[in-house]
Copies of this chain bind each other. A is one copy, B any other.
Amino acid sequence: MIRVLIADDQAMVRQGFGALLAAQPDLLVVGDAANGAEAVTAARRLDPDVVLMDIRMPVLDGLAATRQLVGDRPESDRPRVLILTTFDLDDYVYEALRAGASGFLLKDAPAADLVHAVRVVAAGDALLAPAVTRRLIAEFAARPGRDRPRPTSLAGLTPRETEVLRLIARGRSNGEIAAELVVAEQTVKTHVGRILSKLDLRDRAQAVVVAYESGLVTAGD
């Protein structure tokens, strides 16, 4: 039996979805909430498997409520959040997914889709409205792709030089690098000089740039 909590500020919507879901033998509507704050407390008390969450709600909106629900408990026994909204604005979608939602449907979706979505989400999978899927894919495809093979001529660097370059890209000075590698500062300068000449750079600042651009180091780690 899948336990469902409905959060929406409009009573009619709550009743409509409630009746719709209650008609299914494997679904049980355990409660509802009129705003995000109520949804969070109700979820803690009722322990639903799935929370149907509207975005635009007073007091606490659906995105913030989702963040709280997801942050509450470990991955394993956490209510899955299915966002259900009238608008499919890009910002909403991306924020919702980052907040930890498992699904995103529009309210004009057929009843069968909604029921299906609840089951899919309860099973731990995810489901998005087709238009949303399309844009998510487009967004994803536009991303660089984290696993590229370092195409640039970083290949010409020796292991030690690569190590030094990595430290340069952490903002270390020659002296700090020397201390970290337990060598003389002059040695570091030699390595740095070779790196700059091999990669045809002028500065260590430029070295930092190529370190990031080549993927030797990555932003956000």
A interface residue numbers (CB < 8 A to B) = 94, 97-98, 100, 102, 120, 123-128, 130-131, 133-134, 136-137, 139-141, 143-145, 147, 168-171, 173, 201-209, 212-213, 215, 218-220
Contacts and interface: CB of A to CB of B under 8 A. Distances in A.
Contacts of A141: 97-98, 100
Contacts of A206: 171
A45 B204 CA distance: 53
Contacts of A144: 219-220
Contact of A203 (B134, B136, B173, B202): B173
Contacts of A218: 219
Closest A-B pairs by Cβ, 3 of them: A125-B130, A171-B206, A126-B134
Given A126-B133, A171-B203, A215-B219, 13 more contacts: A94-B140, A94-B145, A98-B140, A98-B141, A126-B136, A127-B133, A128-B128, A136-B136, A170-B209, A171-B202, A173-B203, A208-B212, A212-B212
A126 B139 CA distance: 13
